Amino acid sequence: MLLSDRVLFLDGEALVIDKPAGLPVDAPRDGSLSLENHLDLLKFGFKRWPLPVHRLDRDTSGCLLLARNPKAHGRFTRAFESREVEKQYLAIVDGVPDADGGTIDLPLAKVSTAETGWRMVGDPKGKPSVSHWEKLAVVGERSLLRFRPETGRTHQLRVHALEGLGFPLVGDPVYGRGGTKTRTLLHAERLVVKRDVKPSIIAEAPFPDAFVALGFAAPEGAEPTRG
């Protein structure tokens, strides 16, 4: 797997890759491979490694923004913090919502126990978390949804799907129903970052093969499936 073959956007200060599912952004404690092991091939003529601006879960595929210099990293980080970044995700859930779309406004908080470890839960006293969603397709008892999160809380879409819609993401080992061999079916489909002088960063990741394997087709206007 060469991440240099998965570049969606590249200029003097920004790089967006289509992160494959299964590759963690941060180095795992067990010493297994992570994004860091691939950064040398993503320099593209620069002396320094590009730095990830945000995080995607290990299982989540799709658009991941990296900055090619420290000043750009600071600007992009502030853009994420001030909610100036347009993020769009595709997900397959274990169920069929009655509505065709809506908004989930569910604050999230972290809970932890010695037995089960930590997870995020809906909590009125938690951090504000808002996600807009629409239903794109239904195959059997599963649905393809598009999420547009306003905020970027840890596990936000996974918990909003479960507690806000009543249906977990297919394959989710923490919030899901178990019994499936697939990965968590969440994909960062599109990323837009506006810039003051330069044109906006716009990246779209191809529709994942894992979604096709469950009978879903790329939505109209989406990038074709990655072969």
Q: Label the pairing between strands 117-122 and 108-113.
A: antiparallel
Flag whether 222 is in a domain: no
**Ordered mean pLDDT values, 10 residues apiece, the chain (227 residues):** 89 96 90 90 92 95 97 95 95 97 97 84 95 98 97 96 97 82 92 93 97 93 67
- Count: domains in the chain: 1
Flag whether 145 is in a domain: yes
φ/ψ bin of 160: left (φ > 0), alpha (ψ from -120 to 50), beta (otherwise):
alpha
189 φ/ψ angles, rounded to the nearest 5 degrees: -75, -40
Q: Label the pairing between strands 186-193 and 61-67.
A: parallel
Flag whether 83 is in a domain: yes
CA dihedral defined by 52, 217, 182, 32, rounded to 10 degrees?
-20
C-beta of residue 131 within 8 angstroms of C-beta of residue 160: yes
Flag whether 226 is in a domain: no
CA–CA distances in Å: residue 160 to residues 46, 101, 105, 163, 197: 40, 13, 8, 5, 36
Flag whether 220 is in a domain: no
pLDDT on residue 226: 62
Q: Which domain holds residue 196?
A: 3-212
State yes or no: is 57 an active-site residue. Answer: yes
CA-nearest of 48, 45, 46, 39 to 17 is 39
Give the CATH number for residue 199: 3.30.2350.10
C-beta of residue 217 within 8 angstroms of C-beta of residue 90: no
Flag whether 219 is in a domain: no
pLDDT on residue 178: 67
Q: Among the options 57, 59, 94, 172, which is catalytic?
A: 57
Alpha-carbon Rg of the chain, whole angstroms?
17
pLDDT on residue 223: 72
The secondary structure of 144-174, three-state, reads EEEEEECCCCCCHHHHHHHHHHCCCECCCCC
Flag whether 217 is in a domain: no
